[in-house]
Structure 1
Amino acid sequence: MSGSRPAPGSEAGRKGLRGNSLGLFSSVAMALASTGPAYSLAATLGIIVAGVGLQAPVVTMLAFVPMLLIAYAFRELNAGNADCGTTFTWATRAFGPRTGWMGGWGLIVANIIVMANLATVAGAYGYRLVGLRELGASRLWVTVAGIVWIGVLTGICYVGIHVSAVVQRWLLCLEVAVLLLFAVAALVRVYGDPPPTAIHVSASWFNPFEVPSAQALTSGLLAGVFIYWGWDTAVSVNEETVDSTRVPGRAAVLSPVLLLVLYGLVATAAQAFAGVGPTGIGLGNGDRSDDVFSGLGEAVFGSHDAGLLLARLLILMVLTSALASALTTILPLARTVFSMAVHKAVPARFARVHRRFLTPTWATLGMGAASVALLVLLTSFSHHVLADTVDSVGLAIAFQYGLTGFACLWHHRKVLTRSPRDLICKGLMPGLGGLFMAVLFVYAAFVVYARPGYGAGTVDLPLIGPTGGVAVLGLGALLVGLLLLPVVTRGHSTALKLQRSLLPGRLPPQTACETASRYLPADSGSGVGGDWYDVIPLSGARVGLVVGDVLGHGLPAAATMGRLRTGLRVLARLDLAPDEVLTRLDDLAEQTAQERAPAPGHVPGRTPPPADESMVTCLYAVYDPVSGWCSMARAGGPPPVAVDGDTGVARGLDVPPGPPLGVGGLPYRTTELRLAPGTLLALFTGGLLQAADGQEAGVRRLADVLADRRAPLDQLCERAVGALLPGAVDEDATLLLARTRLLDRTRLAQWEPAADPAAVAALRGSVGKQLDDWGLAELAFTTEVIVSELVTNAIRYVGGPIQVRLIRDRTLTCEVFDTGRTTPNLRHAASDDEGGRGLYIIAQMTHRWGTRYTPTGKVIWAEQSLSPPA
């Protein structure tokens, strides 16, 4: 759509929706209106009575308990991550993208099914309101009216959240006022002018132990869960609410409490007035089970003058209740799909936001169209679509709410012992709510609803046999999401697999330092891919330490990361200075960006290839264990943190930030500093600080964790990740720890021979003696040849001063320092050439050789492999 644009970001509050549009009152109104109190009671009170009889009032109240427990789960999760994806986002953060997808799918299924349900109620009551009862009994005309209502309500949601909130407030006030008037009038009639069906309120109605059976209680509770369902709309619009981390949670907890009072009063009054008989206005009348208010209005208020007006008002109330509930069903449905699209769980087209209204465009219109399609489908095949969908929706609700409760418990598991409040509000209450919903779901789906004949019909399933239609509808809808799971999570799984395959399989031991690392992939397809770390062995026992972050996501970012990591390893092995490595890596990143740029014939309006992968942050450090000096350069990203090996004082290192790779700008600068033995060096990407209140606060918290510098590095990594990222993460995070060492002086030998060819013979003797002392006499001949050739070349082409150094590490390294700046070239000498064979011979006799530059000249080095110790 020309009036829409992609969501600018995936983080909570940064998706481009209209923020600060709703206050606490509007949020509570949204939550209450979404439950549709009048519609919910009209559609389910008869079903509850059919299952539990006179205990219907207490069952409606008992259903409040798990709702309150789950409301606390929503409140605590929203406080930490106010994302409009709610269950999808939170379950993804807690359990991974597969579980998160099923949580989001459960919410989609429940909302789309209930939209068909609400449209049916609105269509039927619309005709009754104007006296066209015959049309209200026609499936065709009710379906037509339902489609029209869905279109109108979808348009209201499309225009904006503010318009929706205003409509909700007026509809809700009318609805609650008429419900209270109905309840009071019914009770007055019972005790003043009772109809033949009236029965006095009894204490036994509120005794759950008088429910006929556990099966009846389960069926009643599941229907009771349905009448409370919808309060979580207040949390689904959290990104458009004032104080998004607090107000939606308060509204979520307050709404079920208000509903408890309203439902208890109305259910008691309706049962006392109409009774539970199977005929007439009795709540046990099967012909009225899907609409108990259809005849109660005239019975309570009378059919003359003011009574007739109030009876019509009751019909209008059910109509407006269904409309308000449908309106607030589209809102969370569209925002859940919108968040799933932003996080790459559904097609990206659903992540577009209207430029003017700041509402999800394709998500809102698409879900409206899906609701229309399901309405037509269900009314074509089922004569009792209302009753069947109410029961089947209960399964989807129990699944979604139960998953949210467990996600809250698991997400906060590391902080439950912090205080009694955390234990109760973040652990005990959500866990019990999740357990209750899980038991309810399993028992209802496989014991109650699966019974042949339950609901409107029975389906003969292959290998299973006759099964209740409600179970088939409810479980079948969830099964569709399970079948789609491999498709929608394939991108995340592939990107994560590629990302992990490109990272080091293990960190090889180094003499220069002890290392440990942690890589935490993001929990959604929108976050994974891009971070990397590396430990690169260099000549002279030195080591290169790297952390980097490609600022994109998914497969392109992981592929870019792989190219840059490979390029950096090649550049590092050329013994280039850190600033020069980053400069050349910047060229590689820029070239990659140019290759990915749109072609000249790119069609306007089409989405160009992602450009974020061209921006990369990188920190490269080289530590020399012989001198204790560390040189490093930074291309964006946070600076490293060092904990002094002697004093234990932690500090952020002042490494000048260069521009990210791939964007150009100021040149990079190398910073050199001496590190005491035992210094703890922490290199990390910005993702490690994502949960902190700013970079400075995150660095301070990291420094506090690393203060115990002598603890094992793996343990410090775990502590740091646990302190900085107590829950799941929205973007990749990488931490690399290195504890420095100085090379043992017994493993180093050095000489400064005179710039005289006669000194070479004495030097060969000294080298042979040193190797004999190290127990490496078998390498004496080769090493003497290497030393002789390199020193002779230095004397011949450069002159003095000259320094020779032997390093016994995991290899035997021979280094010759001189003041020349010319790099020797390896070439194949012709048969009649008198020279040019020296480096060729050295290359054949050694494992590796190379040249690196120093401030005063260059070093030519050659390594020989050592047999590993027995």
Structure 2
Amino acid sequence: MAPIAAGPGAGEKGLKTGALGLASSVAIGVASTAPAYSLAATLGLIVTRVGPQAPVITMLAFIPMLLIAYAYRELNATDADCGTTFTWATRAFGPRIGWMGGWGIIVADVIVMANLAEIAGVYTYRLFGYESLAESRLWTTIAGVLWIAVMTAVSYVGIEISAALQRGLLTVEVVVLIVFAVTAMTKVYADPPATAIRVSASWFNPLNVPSAEALTAGLLAAVFIYWGWDTAVTVNEETADSTHIPGRAAVISTVLLLVIYVAVATSAQAFAGVGTEGIGLGNQENADDVLSDLGSAVFGDQGVGVFLTGLLIFMVVTSAAASTQTTILPLARTVFSMAAHKAVPARFARVHRKYLTPTWSTVGMGLASIAFYVLLTLISHDVLADSIESVGLAIAFYYGLTGFACVWYYRRVLTRSTKDFVSKGLLPGLGGLMMLSVFCYAGFHVYADPHYGATSIDLPLLGPTGGVAVVGLGALLIGVVLMLVVTREHTAALKLQRSLLPRKLEPQTAVEAASRYVPADSRSGVGGDWFDLVPLSSTRVALVVGNVRGHGLHAAAAMGLLRASVRVLARMDLPPDEVLSHLDDVARQTSSEWARELGRDGGERGGNGELRRDGARSDAGPDVAAVTCLYVVYDPVSGRCTMARAGGWPPAVVEADTGTVSFPDLPSGPPLGLGGQTFQNVELQLPPGSLIALFTDGLTHAVGHDRDEALGRLAETLSRHRRPLEQLCDLALARLLPGPVDDDVAVLLVRTRMLDERHVAQWELASDPAMVAVARAAVTGQLEAWGLDDLSFVTELIVSELVTNAIRYTDGPVHVRLIRDENLVCEVSDTGHTSPHLRHAATDEEGGRGLFLIAQMVHRWGTRYTAAGKTIWTEQLVAPTERP
């Protein structure tokens, strides 16, 4: 069975990398537009709309295409994903808008495949002189289906074969078109036919177009003849230099198309004129095929002319066939990328083991195109004609969306330089606006006219509406319904994940804190990154960041389980290495339970981490046996910071005085969930005002593939440590996440504080029962100094009980410490390692009641162990008026 794509990221899907160079990419980009077929099918339509201004219309349509090509180039340079508009719009605007971008490509490609197949079938019969078969709907449909099947097979067996075929066919096609244009123009000035008109400057003046409606209709038709160059970018993951060659090929393709179209349109119009009779380009009878009649008129019907005329017709056939094949390439790869990102069923992400091409998506889209073509042919040839013209709406939709996605994707870096502003913002933005204007005007005004096109449909509430608008807008609306269904899990996962993260970091005495959570922008990206700040006993705090590898609902649920476990373990006052050891057990047990649950039926259950029949685990699911976690404990009384990590990155520490940024030499323990692992603590002494930055791997993955560069940028940003933490968080994200990201990112910044002697009092007592009274007196005096006389009685009782127990059951000195924070903390430390247990004393017992009484009088209490022994602490609430 063909394997599923290894991962959703660019270059991770398993396609054959390095198969295409610049020449092949340009050939695929130009061939995808089918220059000969596009001119044959569209030039007459443009002339009927705008008259002799057809050449300038082809030039005006080039402008938004070039601007959108720049958007493709810039986006591809950062993210060479074969999903193109789907992937980029997802990263810029979220999974729903991204899914609609991918749907726009699917709609345009499937509809145009029907048209290309029809043209290829008709011209195949005409090439061999079978005019009766060319006029038969049955036989042209059979031929069209066969062309789709053949070109689907070519796309299936390898990208190199496809590229070689395109290079050969395109070379002959361009040569024939150039010979046609030169011959036609030569005859206009040397031996003009009766229809000839000399080239005029007015042809290139758009102000001479009769109306705005005519201009829009002409532009939409002209946009159609340019459409297809983006195939050069769709095969980016199979290109030698995936970040640069596809973008260059897109720009070069549009420029070459401009030269070809303007030359052929101008020469054809000069030779045939714009009349409505004979070979005139305004003749409605020839509007869908102007080159067949023009070929014999230009080349003649004798000798070499017959051969060149036949070759021109052959070029229309091969052009349509080649475009059929190159239309399958972006269609299949868009669906393939959507499947890799879990936006459509995962089986469409399968890759052929030998050919390294998409299997299900290539064959599936070929079959879908055949089904659509046959269905519309059976319904009505007029509906098929209207569906073909409606392609312009889908094209304008996803091209315009790409332009806007580029602007929003790079919004944080547009002010970095003039070049960035122009190439990443201004040009793509103008292209997007142009496409939006054309889409709205055409879809809701021109195409909606019931007299436009071949059909009209009486819609409820709206009345009679042009069939072109109904088909074009209706196809996009179907995508909206499907989008709501397929993005439902992503939305639920994102809500679950955000609900499991801290809504707000509560103020702490020990640190000032700020955080950011950035969810991944791809649909498969909602995963298991988390952060937390847990208050501990004696004003200490625990700082945590972690990451469950995997995506979707299971990853979010696993994250919530582990975060809750961390909070429970933190409350037990365990050192960081022990917390990670216990968390390792939780992750291992959870992983084992989920593996049994997901694999219970032994079969393939989808793309959310389930086991497949081949025994592998899907990329999308959670890997609870590969959890990274960084756990840090900071004590504001001593200034000591203790940390341990399981995978991931160590924190960044910024010195308070100098702003020097360092990454502590913290041993990287193995990821959690493997079982039987040990972790190592590292302790630092931090002065007040030091900055600690905890972050997950996603922060370093976003800056290309160079993690050292990412850490350098982070260090440079954190060196401005005196800025407010909220501002530092924003600066860090702006520097390290200039665009949307594949992986979730969690960032936690804290600035340390220390409690001075005005808030802390401590005494060391000898192991002598007489010291109990000394301790009570010292504590009472300190509380009077702090103005907390109301707490003296309870505190004396606490100290008396705990010091007495310490002296009775342990040897060595006893330490008493009071911490005045928002609440009053009383600690008694000794050298023992046995923890007292709260119990109800029997009526005949003389002891056992002290700790029970203490528990009733304090807000909370507990025990924590240290290298020297243990500390029993209590916390009493202080009235707000008495707080410092």
- 1:856 maps to what in 2? 868
- 1:675 maps to what in 2? 686
| C-alpha deviation, 1:753, in angstroms | 2.5
Q: Does structure 2 conserve the Cα–Cα contact (< 8 Å) formed by 1:84 and 1:235?
A: yes
SS of corresponding position for 1:526: helix
Separation in structure 2 between the aligned mates of residue 728 and residue 665 of structure 1, nearest angstrom: 38
1:568-579 matched pairs, under 5 angstroms: 568-579=566-577
| C-alpha deviation, 1:606, in angstroms | 7.3
Distance of aligned partners of 1:322 and 1:606 in 2 relative to their CA distance in 1, 3 Å threshold = farther
Separation in structure 1 between the aligned mates of residue 601 and residue 175 of structure 2, nearest angstrom: 63
| C-alpha deviation, 1:294, in angstroms | 2.8
Using the size of structure 2 for normalisation, the TM-score is: 0.96
Separation in structure 2 between the aligned mates of residue 471 and residue 868 of structure 1, nearest angstrom: 68
Separation in structure 2 between the aligned mates of residue 380 and residue 207 of structure 1, nearest angstrom: 43
- 2:360 maps to what in 1? 362
Q: Aligned AA for 2:668?
A: P
| C-alpha deviation, 1:608, in angstroms | 5.1
| C-alpha deviation, 1:869, in angstroms | 4.2
- 1:85 maps to what in 2? 83
- In the alignment, is residue 646 of structure 1 matched against residue 652 of structure 2? no
- In the alignment, is residue 771 of structure 1 matched against residue 769 of structure 2? no
- In the alignment, is residue 691 of structure 1 matched against residue 702 of structure 2? yes
Q: Does structure 2 conserve the Cα–Cα contact (< 8 Å) formed by 1:683 and 1:735?
A: yes
- In the alignment, is residue 826 of structure 1 matched against residue 838 of structure 2? yes
Distance of aligned partners of 1:868 and 1:485 in 2 relative to their CA distance in 1, 3 Å threshold = farther
- 2:759 maps to what in 1? 747
Q: Aligned AA for 2:672?
A: L
- 2:136 maps to what in 1? 138
- 2:608 maps to what in 1? none
Q: Does structure 1 conserve the Cα–Cα contact (< 8 Å) formed by 2:548 and 2:622?
A: no
478-487 vs 833-842, greater mean Cα deviation: 833-842
356-365 vs 285-294, greater mean Cα deviation: 285-294
Separation in structure 1 between the aligned mates of residue 498 and residue 398 of structure 2, nearest angstrom: 31
| C-alpha deviation, 1:851, in angstroms | 1.0
1:28-39 matched pairs, under 5 angstroms: 28-39=26-37
Q: 1:536 aligns with which of 534, 537, 553?
A: 534
Q: Deviations over 1:113-148 (max 9, x none)?
A: 111110111111111111111111111211111111
Q: Deviations over 1:664-720 (max 9, x none)?
A: 465110001111111101110010111224222211111110111111000000000
- In the alignment, is residue 428 of structure 1 matched against residue 426 of structure 2? yes
Unpaired runs of 5+ residues, structure 2, are 604-612
Separation in structure 2 between the aligned mates of residue 387 and residue 271 of structure 1, nearest angstrom: 25
Distance of aligned partners of 1:606 and 1:113 in 2 relative to their CA distance in 1, 3 Å threshold = farther
Q: Does structure 1 conserve the Cα–Cα contact (< 8 Å) formed by 2:383 and 2:455?
A: no
Separation in structure 1 between the aligned mates of residue 173 and residue 706 of structure 2, nearest angstrom: 46
Q: Aligned AA for 2:822?
A: R
For the aligned residue pairs, the C-alpha RMSD in angstroms reads 1.5
Q: Does structure 1 conserve the Cα–Cα contact (< 8 Å) formed by 2:551 and 2:622?
A: no
| C-alpha deviation, 1:380, in angstroms | 2.1
Q: Aligned AA for 2:544?
A: V
- 1:389 maps to what in 2? 387
SS of corresponding position for 1:668: coil
- 2:738 maps to what in 1? 726
Q: Deviations over 1:460-502 (max 9, x none)?
A: 1100011111111111111111112211211221111111100
| C-alpha deviation, 1:775, in angstroms | 2.1
Distance of aligned partners of 1:850 and 1:42 in 2 relative to their CA distance in 1, 3 Å threshold = same
Q: Deviations over 1:340-372 (max 9, x none)?
A: 111111111111111111111111111111111
Q: Does structure 1 conserve the Cα–Cα contact (< 8 Å) formed by 2:58 and 2:262?
A: yes
432-441 vs 840-849, greater mean Cα deviation: 840-849
- 1:602 maps to what in 2? 602
1:152-551 matched pairs, under 5 angstroms: 152-384=150-382, 387-551=385-549
| C-alpha deviation, 1:558, in angstroms | 0.6
SS of corresponding position for 1:353: coil
- 1:793 maps to what in 2? 805
SS of corresponding position for 1:858: strand
| C-alpha deviation, 1:602, in angstroms | 1.9
| C-alpha deviation, 1:601, in angstroms | 6.0
Separation in structure 2 between the aligned mates of residue 789 and residue 699 of structure 1, nearest angstrom: 52
Separation in structure 1 between the aligned mates of residue 659 and residue 211 of structure 2, nearest angstrom: 67
Q: Does structure 2 conserve the Cα–Cα contact (< 8 Å) formed by 1:117 and 1:385?
A: no
Q: Does structure 1 conserve the Cα–Cα contact (< 8 Å) formed by 2:101 and 2:398?
A: yes
Q: 1:68 aligns with which of 66, 69, 75?
A: 66
- 1:13 maps to what in 2? 11
190-199 vs 706-715, greater mean Cα deviation: 190-199
- 2:726 maps to what in 1? 714
SS of corresponding position for 1:475: helix
Q: Does structure 2 conserve the Cα–Cα contact (< 8 Å) formed by 1:752 and 1:804?
A: yes
Q: Does structure 2 conserve the Cα–Cα contact (< 8 Å) formed by 1:115 and 1:371?
A: yes
Q: Does structure 1 conserve the Cα–Cα contact (< 8 Å) formed by 2:511 and 2:751?
A: yes
Q: Does structure 2 conserve the Cα–Cα contact (< 8 Å) formed by 1:290 and 1:386?
A: no
Using the size of structure 1 for normalisation, the TM-score is: 0.98
Q: Aligned AA for 2:158?
A: G
Q: Aligned AA for 1:778?
A: D
Separation in structure 2 between the aligned mates of residue 613 and residue 541 of structure 1, nearest angstrom: 32
Q: Deviations over 1:128-181 (max 9, x none)?
A: 111111111111211111111111111111111111101111111111111111
Q: Does structure 2 conserve the Cα–Cα contact (< 8 Å) formed by 1:646 and 1:676?
A: no
SS of corresponding position for 1:614: coil
Q: 2:747 aligns with which of 735, 744, 753?
A: 735
| C-alpha deviation, 1:837, in angstroms | 1.7
Separation in structure 2 between the aligned mates of residue 32 and residue 697 of structure 1, nearest angstrom: 38
| C-alpha deviation, 1:25, in angstroms | 0.4
Count of residues paired in the alignment: 868
Q: Does structure 2 conserve the Cα–Cα contact (< 8 Å) formed by 1:171 and 1:320?
A: yes
Separation in structure 2 between the aligned mates of residue 613 and residue 435 of structure 1, nearest angstrom: 46
Q: Aligned AA for 2:752?
A: T
Unpaired runs of 5+ residues, structure 1, are none
Separation in structure 2 between the aligned mates of residue 466 and residue 286 of structure 1, nearest angstrom: 25
278-287 vs 52-61, greater mean Cα deviation: 278-287
| C-alpha deviation, 1:209, in angstroms | 1.0
| C-alpha deviation, 1:386, in angstroms | 6.0
- In the alignment, is residue 663 of structure 1 matched against residue 694 of structure 2? no
Q: Does structure 2 conserve the Cα–Cα contact (< 8 Å) formed by 1:812 and 1:863?
A: yes
Q: Does structure 1 conserve the Cα–Cα contact (< 8 Å) formed by 2:555 and 2:622?
A: no
- In the alignment, is residue 625 of structure 1 matched against residue 636 of structure 2? yes
Q: Deviations over 1:269-308 (max 9, x none)?
A: 2112222222322221222212222322222222333222
Q: Aligned AA for 1:166?
A: A
Q: Aligned AA for 2:755?
A: L
Distance of aligned partners of 1:733 and 1:611 in 2 relative to their CA distance in 1, 3 Å threshold = closer
Q: Aligned AA for 1:532?
A: W
Separation in structure 1 between the aligned mates of residue 615 and residue 648 of structure 2, nearest angstrom: 32
Separation in structure 2 between the aligned mates of residue 253 and residue 138 of structure 1, nearest angstrom: 40
Q: Deviations over 1:240-281 (max 9, x none)?
A: 111111111111111111111100111112112222222322
